[in-house]
Structure 1
Amino acid sequence: MTSHWPQARVAHALQPPQSAARSGRFELALSRHGARTHIGRQYVSYPFHMTRPFALDAAIPSLLTVYQQSSSGGLYRDDRLLSRFDVGAGASGHVTTQAATVVHDCHGQPAHQATEIVLEDGSFLALTPDPLVLFPGAACSSVTRATLAPGAVLLLSDAFALHDPEGRGRPFDRLEAKVDIRDADGRLLVRDNLDVCGLQLAGTASPIGEWKVASNFMLLGAPDRLPTPDELAALGRQERQIAGITALPNGAGWGVRCLAADAIAARGIAECLFVLAVAAAFGQRPVPRRK
């Protein structure tokens, strides 16, 4: 059921530019009650859709899973989509998608996505959408801003794949992604910027070669609730995938960049990192998520 989110609550949130284009909002607050996490305020508008939350992990009752769904068939030119997640003290959430998201030909007018995340003391959020699938002419710009209180943990996933339905190797237009991570006092911890033109990845001179899916992860927060370097070193050892792991500035956590030969290999490394993140934060491995 969709309920209204008080406007004052999002007055300082990321706001998509005003436009006559299609716009949508997905706003969710999670709070801890006893051993469990529950949904508080929520606002979901087209093209977003949400059914009910799922308590999938009997051994981790505080971890609530939500599927952020779309009923529109993907992203289109000049879409303006806003997501906001507020996770209360001690609450835990996993937000993922039902499948990959197609970005259609945007005819020079990029689709825009904005995400704002606020994590309170001791909270946990894994935001792990499936990859964007960039069709010929696709253009997408995303901005993510997150604020972490002491003891909080955040897993961010951002991935894309290239696909020409006609098999002619036509490139996408452009992909931009900006991420800012701050502490509870507003101090900048990490800033990451991606700006790539489809022509740069086209043909035999592509810097990613024959790899089909590129993924970028950030695992941030309290060091005692993050995987160790030795645990992360196992990533990318399987066939059809490679991974690089970097310590993020200001002791913020870990950055993981991956290339995969196909969607199956990309999903495998994403699932492995999610398992490591949950096990480190809660001392228990999560059950597999169905898609």
Structure 2
Amino acid sequence: MNAIGAIGLGARPVAAELRFRALGGRTFLARQFTPHPFHITRPFYHAGDPKGMATLYLQSSSGGVYAGDDLSLEIGLDAGAQVHVTTQASTIVHDARGREGARQTVCLDVAEGARLDYLPDPAILMTGAKFCNRVTARFGREARVILGDAQLSHDPEGHARPFSRLENEVELISPEGTVLLDRFDLCGSDWPARTGGFACSGMMIVVGCADAGAQMQRAADTVPGVYAGLSVFSDRDIALIRFLAPDGAALSKVMAALWRAAATVLDGQPPAERRK
């Protein structure tokens, strides 16, 4: 069995869908299906963003992800649409208490010439949590994507008790096929050794503008306590930066700094702040 998806599940799958279209230079939400626990805000439009870019906040009505949850989200952008999708807060992955884990599957479909910023807040892996997270982004020609993915380990009692297991996969698929596949499967007890003692880990990827990588590295270097490393795939026009952070505050700061740096390169001006 593929390591990703090995965590057993018994709950009924819950699938949400969002579809965006551009009309007259303005992006709008053309279709939504958001069953419990998914919830969304109405789209916002910020001065200073690319013209017509919609911002949408994902929310949860359940208080987190629980053992047995099988959640999927599909976000589709038609040609020329521009969307910034983020979350209202971090996703808490609760203690599985020895039971089966939770799975989250995200499919991003970004058509030709479209732009998607998909920047959820980090997943908080509580003591005993089992979580399988998979993100797949398909993109057309001249599409641009900023994608963030991050996790932090947290013991609510402050005794450094680890989560149980994390399976994580991010795949990028161009018209020619898979151009990037990042996958790991990790027991919580191995987290300190794998991260060098850092509580938080993540990455940010830019598709369609590898030149954003240098600015992202400079931005990461300004956040105290953060360790970051950049990979640039010029032949695929992709930049990927990985980072480790000592705590949730530093993690939030570096993710915001990286996004601002990437968006500034893509748009030629700093983006509007997204308040949480």
What is the deviation of 1:259? 1.0
Indicate whether 1:68 and 2:58 are aligned: yes
Find the counterpart in structure 2 of residue 46 from structure 1.
36
Q: Is the 8 A contact 2:111 2:141 kept in 1?
A: yes
Correspondent of 2:86 among 78, 96, 101: 96
Q: What is the number of residues matched between the two proteins?
A: 270
Note the C-alpha offset of 1:64: 0.8
State the Cα distance separating 1:109 from its structure 2 match.
1.0
Provide the alpha-carbon RMSD of the alignment.
Answer: 2.2
Specify whether residues 183 and 259 from structure 1 end up closer, same or farther in structure 2 by C-alpha distance, changes over 3 A only: same
> Aligned in 2, Cα 1:141/1:59: closer, same or farther, shift over 3 Å?
closer
Q: 1:28 to 1:285 in 2, by over 3 A?
A: same
Contact in 2 for aligned 1:79/1:111 (Cα 8 Å): yes
2:128 corresponds, among 126, 132, 137, to 137
Does 2:188 align with 1:198?
yes
Contact 1:240 / 1:262 at 8 angstroms: preserved in 2? Answer: no
Distance 1:169 1:228 in 2: 34
In the TM superposition, what is the alpha-carbon distance from 1:221 to its structure 2 partner?
2.1
Instruction: Give the secondary-structure state (helix, strand or coil) at the position aligned to 1:275.
Output: helix
Q: Gaps (5+ residues) in structure 1?
A: 1-16
Pair 1:213-2:205 in alignment: no
Separation of aligned partners in 2, 1:280 and 1:250: 19
TM-score normalised over the length of structure 2 = 0.90
Q: What TM-score, normalized by structure 1, do the two folds share?
A: 0.86
- Deviation of the 1:95 alpha carbon: 0.8
Partners in 1 of 2:29 and 2:77 — Cα distance? 9
Distance in 1 separating the partners of 2:161 and 2:10: 29
> For the Cα contact (< 8 Å) 1:151–1:222, is it kept in 2?
no
SS where residue 257 of structure 2 aligns? helix
Residue 238 of structure 1 and its aligned partner are, at CA, apart by: 2.5
| Preserved contact between residue 189 and residue 250 of structure 1 (Cα < 8 Å) | no
Answer whether contact 2:163 2:189 (CA < 8 A) is retained: yes
Say if 1:18 and 1:24 are closer, same or farther in 2 by CA, change over 3 A.
farther
Q: Secondary structure at the match of 1:194?
A: strand
Q: 1:230: how far off? A: 4.8
Q: Which residue of 1 is the match for residue 3 of structure 2?
A: none
Code of the aligned partner of 1:149: G
1:262 aligns with 2:250: no
CA displacement, residues 228-265 of structure 1 (integer Å, 9 cap, x when unaligned): 52553332333121211012485241111111122121
Cα drift, residue 33 of structure 1: 1.1
**Is the 8 Å Cα contact of residues 189 and 252 (structure 1) preserved in structure 2?**
no
User: In the aligned structure 2, how far is the partner of 1:167 from the partner of 1:145?
Assistant: 34
Farther-moved stretch of structure 1 (210-219 vs 131-140): 210-219
The verdict on how the C-alpha distance between 1:63 and 1:190 changes in structure 2, with shifts beyond 3 A counting, is same
The answer to whether the 8 Å contact 2:8/2:101 transfers is no
CA deviations 1:85-125 (Å, max 9, x no partner) are: 11111111111111111111122411011111111111111
Aligned equivalent of 1:286: 271
Match of 2:260 in 1: 275
Distance 1:249 1:105, change over 3 A: farther
